[in-house]
Amino acid sequence: MKKTQQKTSKDDTAPWMKWAYVGIALIVAVAMVGTYLAPMFEKKPTAQVGNAAVIDYTIFSEDGRPLITTDQNLLASEYEKGNGNILLTQRLEMAVGGLVSGENIAVLPVVHPPEVSDFGLLGFETNAISAGLVGMQAGETRTISFSYGGNDFEKNLSEEDIQGLGFNLTDWEAGELILLGLTATPDIPLGNETNETPALRFGEVIGTTSDSVTIKYRYGSARVTLNGITG
């Protein structure tokens, strides 16, 4: 009896081959997807004490009004609303976790409006921002509240004080914002001595009487975005 060799048809092997091709394609596809997604899962640098950080920020009043910002879009939006009491500044580089005296005045530039002098942040505020940066990752935004300890940062101006600034008592109402000048040496200069150029700061009228005005010059919070860590 003649033996015949049974041939394997293409139909018998085709399913296995198809699965093999599909399996290889799947492995390649997974590998490619993994390559594309890898940057998404890379751990972003985290700010640690001692680093230097570059930040964008907006300073808010206690009632949430933006006062100072690096955000040009926010500035334009506030101008459209009729709010001219907002200053544009530039990005700030500062130490992460650094501390200075609470009464220290950090003098920072005003970009717009151009006729406005530099503005000042108190050490209480820069310390809060610096501490709030610890643990932030690049690109993260965080709102940081300010605390002033036992300092209320309020000042009572007499009618004589107000007139000396070129105003009248009737010019100011409760809730109105005004610009104050801060210096590290606020004493009146004598003779030919000259005081340093004051750094401006927003103050809010919180009370008026027939012969005085009370102004607070503390802020509420800062909204900070960590743009990068430089050291």
**pLDDT tens digits, residue range 125-178?**
999 999 999 999 999 999 999 999 888 999 898 989 888 878 888 888 899 998
Domain-by-domain residue ranges, the chain? 52-150+219-229, 154-187+197-216
pLDDT digits (tens, 9 = 90+) for 78-112: 999 999 999 999 999 999 999 998 888 899 999 99
Question: Residue 9 pLDDT > 60, yes or no?
Answer: no
Alpha-carbon separation of residue 130 from 6, 103, 122, 139 (angstroms): 81, 15, 12, 16
Q: Which pLDDT value is given to residue 64?
A: 95
Q: Which pLDDT value is given to residue 42?
A: 65
**Which contacts of 102-107 are long-range, i.e. CB under 8 A and separated by 24 or more positions?**
102/127, 102/148, 102/149, 102/151, 105/182, 105/183, 105/184, 105/199, 107/199
Q: Which pLDDT value is given to residue 187?
A: 39
Q: Which pLDDT value is given to residue 117?
A: 82
Question: Residue 201 pLDDT > 50, yes or no?
Answer: yes
pTM recorded for the entire structure? 0.76
Residue 25: pLDDT band (50, 70, 90) is low
For the chain, the average pLDDT equals 82
